[in-house]
Structure 1
């Protein structure tokens, strides 16, 4: 092979940058197409979950009324029956609030990640942290 046929460093760098640019553009196109599909599927899924939540709310209302009327079959006045059902919901709400507060107090900052992220600038400069 002849030295004259060898590519120059400038040509190699130009070819490499062109190839990297093409690769990045292809990756961006691929990401866009994947995201478009994912967003569409996610939107439909979220819509279906909203419909299910609405029906779930209707079911809770209907079961609450049914439960209250069931209590009236025991001879209890309807006002007391509905008050008992409402009281059950108050107790469940209080329990959910207490449990939510307890779980929120367990949330901590990602300390190891923060410490590692602080080391990145020094590592990029080639210095130990």
Structure 2
């Protein structure tokens, strides 16, 4: 019993910790970790939802910019075709404009193909995933 003249200097949580069993303490720690993990997952979901919304909006803006760029190039090409048409005739100027765009398309396709061939995927991730079974086997052998 404690003497009322001398109050216990411990906090209620300190008194509870001293009176609790190891099983109770482990149960509390487990519950707290479980709660923390659930809260972290919920936070991740909320952040992912917000990021996905912004990414969708940005993709829409890029799509609109692409359409506007195509229209600008179309009208610029028509203007070049007509301008050359005054010098050499509309038929030949159309062929020249089409040939220039064909060369641009060929160069872009070749550069895109080279970039696509250089993609290696996720080599480090694949390597670390391959190491997981070996790491688990080592732990089982030590038991």
Do they superpose with TM above 0.5? Answer: yes
Structure 1 residue matching 2:20: 3-state secondary structure:
coil
Relative to the length of structure 2, the TM-score reads: 0.75
Pairing 1:7-86 to 2, within 5 Å after superposition: 7-73=20-86, 75-86=87-98
Structure 1 residue aligned with 2:119: 107
For structure 1, the residue ranges without an aligned partner over 5 or more in a row are none
What does the per-residue CA deviation read over 1:13-47, in whole Å, with 9 as the maximum and x for residues that have no partner?
Answer: 21011101110111122112212221221121111
1:93 pairs with 2:108: no
Q: Choose 1 or 2 for highest CA Rg.
A: 2
For structure 2, the residue ranges without an aligned partner over 5 or more in a row are 1-9
Which protein has greater RCO, CA pairs closer than 8 Å, 6+ apart?
Answer: 1
What does the per-residue CA deviation read over 1:76-128, in whole Å, with 9 as the maximum and x for residues that have no partner?
Answer: 11111111101111111111222222222323354444333211122134359
Relative to the length of structure 1, the TM-score reads: 0.83
**Superposition RMSD in Å:** 2.4
